[in-house]
């Protein structure tokens, strides 16, 4: 905490981190009960400025995992509500993290370039 009583980073960043932790914990619990979820990692959370919505980014999102998340959305939001001090729980939306896909494409391009240099 800063000397003047303010936090060194904005409320939205703190909230994003708290939601990431709570949702990650819930996904582990759900994954133990439902094999369709598989192993997914929460790579980040972005809460809207009005804090009514939160985009949850996952390392991957299969069709089966998306179905489980749709079915269990209220359970996950309930856990967020129980573990945070917010007036309203943001509506959660789940999607595959585009940065993971972009990073994989860059790695593939680098591998191809390296392979072409070796030939």
What Cα–Cα distance (Å) separates residue 25 from each residue in 8, 13, 73, 119? 26, 19, 14, 47
Domain ranges of the chain: 11-118
Instruction: For residues 71-97, give the mean pLDDT.
Output: 91
pLDDT of residue 97: 87
Q: Residue 69 above 60 pLDDT?
A: yes
Mean pLDDT, rounded, of the chain: 85
Q: Which two structure tokens, joined as six digits, stand for 74?
A: 């209220």
Please tell me the pTM assigned to this model.
0.77
Give the span between the Cα atoms of 80 and 99, in whole angstroms.
Answer: 25
Record: fold of 11-118: GMP Synthetase; Chain A, domain 3 (3.30.300)
Query: pLDDT at position 118, please?
Result: 65
pLDDT tens sequence across 30-67: 999 999 998 899 999 999 988 899 999 999 888 999 99
């Amino acid at each position: 905490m800063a000397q003047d009583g303010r936090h060194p980073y904005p409320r939205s960043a703190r909230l994003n981190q708290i939601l990431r932790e709570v949702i990650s914990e819930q996904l582990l619990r759900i994954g133990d009960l439902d094999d369709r979820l598989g192993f997914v990692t929460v790579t980040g959370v972005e809460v809207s400025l009005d804090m009514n919505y939160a985009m949850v980014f996952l390392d991957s999102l299969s069709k089966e995992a998306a179905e489980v998340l749709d079915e269990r959305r209220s359970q996950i939001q309930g856990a967020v509500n129980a573990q945070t001090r917010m007036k309203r729980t943001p509506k959660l939306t789940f999607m595959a993290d585009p940065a993971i896909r972009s990073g994989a494409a860059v790695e593939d391009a680098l591998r191809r370039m390296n392979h072409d240099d070796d030939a």
